[in-house]
Structure 1
Amino acid sequence: MYTVELATLIGKMNLEVLTPDIDYKHIKICQPDVNRPALQLAGFFDHFDSDRVQIIGRVEEAYMRKMEKDHGIGILSRLMDYKVPCIVFCRGIDVEPELIQLATQKCVPILKTNKTTSSFMAEVIRWLNVELAPRMSIHGVLVDVYGEGILITGESGIGKSEAALELIKRGHRLVTDDVVEIKKVSDETLIGMAPDITRHFIELRGIGIINVKTLFGVESVKNTQAIDLVIKLEEWNKEKEYDRLGLEEQYIEYLGNKVVCHSIPIRPGRNLAVIVESAAVNHRQKKMGYNAAQELYNRVTNNLMKKNKAIEE
């Protein structure tokens, strides 16, 4: 299970801390979802997930105003007894001094933002889903080619880094070399990034380590990229039959998500950069509804039907 420090959330969302006496640096968030404590304010705490960030908006604030003051403070005191990570008041709602004092006693940070409740919730959930996403690390190279995230894999020394370097010289962008950290941000999307230590570096056998950002400029690198296509490089095997039409997609699975995968046989003289560029453009065309292999198949099928019809006549 991954966690996010509350201090990081406060800085990212530009939240105002109303309880400065609380040392919140040790508080960590482990749930990407948030909670608006509507039922809890009514006294129903069954199935209450106390690990979530608690958000109070205009509706909750209006409901508490209709309560007697002592009763409202008592309900929030019971909420704080569950050791929630924090309580965020949206829309710039003024917080009673008694509540701030109570929160300080119970070591529950009270935060404030001027954003609307819905927009703040959406932004927090999106950000936490990325930060707390399941992840894994694999050996490979990730590059951005015409906006498509291409993950190049294969055995060590097969030419992944050299292909990435040629792509960079042709105007594309490097995300990471050697180690790719993959995050599953949704059932459809995988995000790849570089470890902090190796970010912007490429290892070239016989030369050593080079800094792509320094050599080719800031436009040649990128910090994160969605993984759209996997290209697996492998040594040429004359006894193996390789797909020459591409009518059926092959897939590889990472963290439960399937990604289209092409196996590319390597022989001397093949220009890997051009092959990767062509694969990226072809994959984009398929996503836009055009499949060259299917069109060729339809042409051949129609031609055979015409010939058969001519023979019958």
Structure 2
Amino acid sequence: MSVKVKDLLEKVKVDLIYGDDQLLEKVIRTADISRPGLEMTGYFDYYSPERIQIIGMKEWSYLNAMTSHNRYQVLRKMFQPETPVIIVARGLDIQQEMLQAAKEKGIAILRSYTATSRLSGEISSYLDSRLAERTSVHGVLMDIYGMGVLIQGDSGIGKSETGLELVKRGHRIVADDRVDVYAKDEMTLWGEPAEILRHLLEIRGVGIIDVMSLYGASAVKDSSPVQIAVYLENYTTGKVFDRLGNGAEEIEIAGVRIPRIRIPVKTGRNISVVIEAAAMNYRAKEMGFDATKIFEERLTQLINKNEVAND
């Protein structure tokens, strides 16, 4: 994935102060952001010009205290051709020397009325998600009751059909067939569709359908966390499946581990309803309500009661 300055202009609340189409095509290659401090005093030993440079109130005030000549010399050294963009926060005035240095080095200037720390956080979050390394997995990603559920299984087992049934039941589809996932942070996995497959679903015998056109905007979602994986397996005699819910299994995707549930598929089973129940049960466990533990406690109480009665 790559991000251009024009993408930032569209996604973050900033105004274009200086820059043409060519400058807006500059590629942002790192999610790291720089707030130049020591550089303004002339210390450039560890300066990273390839980062977005944000000028907040402190930086702006320090520059304002300089003479026009010194301000221009510092900014001219700070702004380099590889610098993707300069962003001035808090709606501060653009100093003439800053504009001149940006024009000389070919760098766009954007301005935001957002507080510096908040602006930095918004940009970092956006860049982290866009520049994170993607991993493609086969499956259907659904938003079920606000839970991101990745449905996987052997080819032809009915993943897309199950996704369509879940859409009809009021849930939202994020991606079909190919899901691009990335680690948003060390604990959070995020998924989105490949652009060519966005809002599309393939049903064998019918072909490709546009879910948004057929079922409306409420039936689709552009991205979602991936919190639980459901693996559909053909039911065969003798194959053992977890019946109590205490057989914890996990899979690792993009360095993040998420729980996985194996569900047997056979004629007569309503898989979409089972997946709904699995999503709600996972959410209940996250909130501290574990039906398996309740059953085990009741079973232990019953055994103890019977032992006392036999004595």
Task: Give the TM-score of the pair, scaled to structure 2.
Answer: 0.94
Which runs of at least 4 in structure 1 moved beyond 6 Å after TM superposition? none
Matches within 5 A, 1:154-303: 154-303=153-302
Q: Compared with structure 1, are the counterparts of its residues 207 and 11 closer, same or farther at alpha carbon in structure 2 (3 Å cutoff)?
A: closer
User: Secondary structure of the residue that 1:151 maps to in structure 2?
Assistant: strand
Q: How big is each residue's C-alpha offset from its partner over 1:179-209, in whole Å with a ceiling of 9 and x where there is no partner?
A: 1111221112122222222222221112222
Q: Which residue of 1 aligns with 2:113?
A: 114
Residue 309 of structure 1 deviates from its aligned partner by: 4.0
Q: How big is each residue's C-alpha offset from its partner over 1:67-106, in whole Å with a ceiling of 9 and x where there is no partner?
A: 2322222111111137321211111221222331222111
Q: Which residue of 2 aligns with 1:89?
A: 88
Q: Which residue of 2 aligns with 1:138?
A: 137
Paired AA for residue 158 in structure 1: I
Q: Which residue of 1 aligns with 2:64?
A: 65
Residue 150 of structure 1 deviates from its aligned partner by: 1.0
Distance 1:99 1:3 in 2: 27
Point out where structure 1 has 5 or more consecutive residues left out of the alignment.
none
Distance 2:38 2:235 in 1: 63
Q: Compared with structure 1, are the counterparts of its residues 232 and 18 closer, same or farther at alpha carbon in structure 2 (3 Å cutoff)?
A: same
Paired AA for residue 31 in structure 1: T
Task: Give the TM-score of the pair, scaled to structure 1.
Answer: 0.93
> Is the CA contact (8 Å cut-off) linking 1:139 and 1:180 kept in structure 2?
yes
Distance 1:207 1:61 in 2: 61
Residue 254 of structure 1 deviates from its aligned partner by: 0.4
> Which stretch has the larger CA shift, 290-299 or 10-19?
10-19
Q: Which residue of 2 aligns with 1:31?
A: 30
RMSD, matched Cα:
1.8
Paired AA for residue 123 in structure 1: E
> Which stretch has the larger CA shift, 174-183 or 44-53?
44-53
> Is the CA contact (8 Å cut-off) linking 1:22 and 1:109 kept in structure 2?
no
> Is the CA contact (8 Å cut-off) linking 1:233 and 1:263 kept in structure 2?
yes
Distance 2:12 2:200 in 1: 31
Paired AA for residue 285 in structure 2: K
**Number of residue pairs aligned between Structure 1 and Structure 2:** 311
Distance 1:298 1:28 in 2: 58
> Is the CA contact (8 Å cut-off) linking 1:285 and 1:291 kept in structure 2?
yes
Paired AA for residue 124 in structure 2: I
1:45 aligned onto 2:44 = yes
Q: Compared with structure 1, are the counterparts of its residues 185 and 221 closer, same or farther at alpha carbon in structure 2 (3 Å cutoff)?
A: same
> Is the CA contact (8 Å cut-off) linking 1:22 and 1:107 kept in structure 2?
no
Distance 1:21 1:215 in 2: 40
Residue 21 of structure 1 deviates from its aligned partner by: 5.5
> Which stretch has the larger CA shift, 42-51 or 243-252?
42-51
Distance 2:93 2:82 in 1: 22
Q: How big is each residue's C-alpha offset from its partner over 1:233-277, in whole Å with a ceiling of 9 and x where there is no partner?
A: 112233332211112421111000011100112112111011101
Distance 1:69 1:12 in 2: 34
Distance 1:213 1:106 in 2: 45
Paired AA for residue 90 in structure 1: A
Distance 2:82 2:202 in 1: 48
% identical equivalent positions: 37
Q: Compared with structure 1, are the counterparts of its residues 16 and 217 closer, same or farther at alpha carbon in structure 2 (3 Å cutoff)?
A: closer
Q: How big is each residue's C-alpha offset from its partner over 1:251-307, in whole Å with a ceiling of 9 and x where there is no partner?
A: 111000011100112112111011101101101101111110111111112222333
1:124 aligned onto 2:107 = no
> Is the CA contact (8 Å cut-off) linking 1:141 and 1:180 kept in structure 2?
yes
Distance 2:220 2:131 in 1: 24
User: Secondary structure of the residue that 2:50 maps to in structure 1?
Assistant: coil
Distance 1:222 1:285 in 2: 23
Distance 1:257 1:22 in 2: 39
> Which stretch has the larger CA shift, 243-252 or 78-87?
78-87
> Is the CA contact (8 Å cut-off) linking 2:71 and 2:97 kept in structure 1?
no
Distance 1:46 1:274 in 2: 61
Residue 13 of structure 1 deviates from its aligned partner by: 2.1
Paired AA for residue 176 in structure 1: A
Distance 1:165 1:149 in 2: 16
> Which stretch has the larger CA shift, 225-234 or 46-55?
46-55
> Is the CA contact (8 Å cut-off) linking 2:175 and 2:198 kept in structure 1?
yes
